[in-house]
Amino acid sequence: MDYFQLAFVAVFGVGLGVSSGGLCYSALRLLKAPRLALPRRKSREMPPVIRRFLHQGQGNEDELPPWLKQWSERTSLMLKRSGVHIPVMRYLVGLLAGGAGGFITGVTLMKNLPAAVILALSIALAPDVVLIGRVQNRRNKIIEQLAAAVRIFAAEFGDTPQVPRALSITAQKVPAPLGDILRQADTDLAAGKSIDDVCLYLMKELDFEYGRMFVQLLRLAWDDAAVRPLFTRLAGRIANLQGLIYKNASGMAYSRFMGMFVNALILPEFLLMRSVVPETGYFLVYNPLGRLLVVVCFLSILVGMILDRVLSGVET
């Protein structure tokens, strides 16, 4: 509780000082004191990396460093596919703020530098893990809808062997998220784009095994209507894949949830023990064995996030 009181007093003092300084500065400015005018920093003085990142999307993507450009493109695609509509820059600021908050918490409350670093990394990685989970769920939903979409396409293509018409009817009958992808492809075809460009778009959006197979058959059907029976066979294979996905998801969902839930309770448990049982708090903060135990606990969070990310197998 002492730390919170000190933090409150510090914030109050800083706010009071800034307010007083601002009032004095404003009063002097009213007296026409030109020397008190603060020099404005021009945009060209901003570090090149930050300036390029802030102006991404305005034709300067090629000027970004390769690692920052790759991260930006990957994160932007993840945000789009997960349904989170925020700019990449705002997402990055949130990650940095969360990591800094975790580091300050580890240093001030735990007085443990290794634990503070691990906590900062864990908090910074947490949103990425959530995005991966949302993208995985979206891909499973697309796979679930793809079997029905292939059957609809095969039936319409069998009646009238015209790929644009069959694709348009399929897009109208399939709900989101797969329906949105097919409707965009139908719009591109109607706008005059070539079938190769449309298939390239579909290949990027349906970037999994059976999705790529559907796109390849779609391209072959454009030139040869004899591939129609292959769509029916593909629909059957996708249905079998749905059963495997459902079985694996039902078996892993509970274990994954419990693991994330237990890891999320580590920091609240530490704060609760420190406030309720001071002896335990002293052991975890000052005793070498207790400090090592805190590091191991927070390290388990970080390792769990990394393993969850690796084993998810999401292709963005």
Q: How far apart are CA 234 and CA 67, in angstroms?
A: 39
Furthest-apart CA atoms within the chain: distance in Å: 87
Q: Model confidence over 251-261: pLDDT tens digits? A: 666 666 777 77
Going from the C-alpha of 316 to that of each of 5, 59, 132, 245, 253, the distances in angstroms are 46, 23, 9, 18, 21
Q: What angle do CA 20, 22, 26 make, to 5 degrees?
A: 120
Q: What angle do CA 299, 274, 99 make, to 5 degrees?
A: 40
* Nearby residues of 98 by Cβ (< 8 Å), 6 or more positions away: 123, 124, 126, 127
| Position 82, amino acid | S
Is residue 54 over pLDDT 70? no
Going from the C-alpha of 148 to that of each of 155, 168, 170, 208, 230, the distances in angstroms are 11, 15, 9, 17, 14
pLDDT of residue 21: 54
Share the mean pLDDT of the chain. 79
The 8-class DSSP code of residue 40 comes to P
Is residue 184 over pLDDT 90? yes
68-72, 100-104, 121-125, 233-237: range with lowest mean pLDDT: 68-72
Q: How far apart are CA 285 and CA 200, in angstroms?
A: 56
pLDDT of residue 151: 92
User: If we measure between CA atoms, which residue out of 153, 197, 193 comes closest to residue 174?
Assistant: 153
User: If we measure between CA atoms, which residue out of 141, 142, 136 comes closest to residue 252?
Assistant: 136
The 8-class DSSP code of residue 314 comes to -
User: What is the end-to-end Cα distance of the chain in Å, rounded?
Assistant: 45
- Arithmetic mean of pLDDT, 125-145: 87
* DSSP letters spanning 54-116: HTTTTT-GGGS-HHHHHHHHHHHHHHHHHT----HHHHHHHHHHHHHHHHHHIIIII--HHHH
Is residue 213 over pLDDT 90? yes
Q: pTM score, two decimals? A: 0.68
Domain segments of the chain as ranges: 143-247
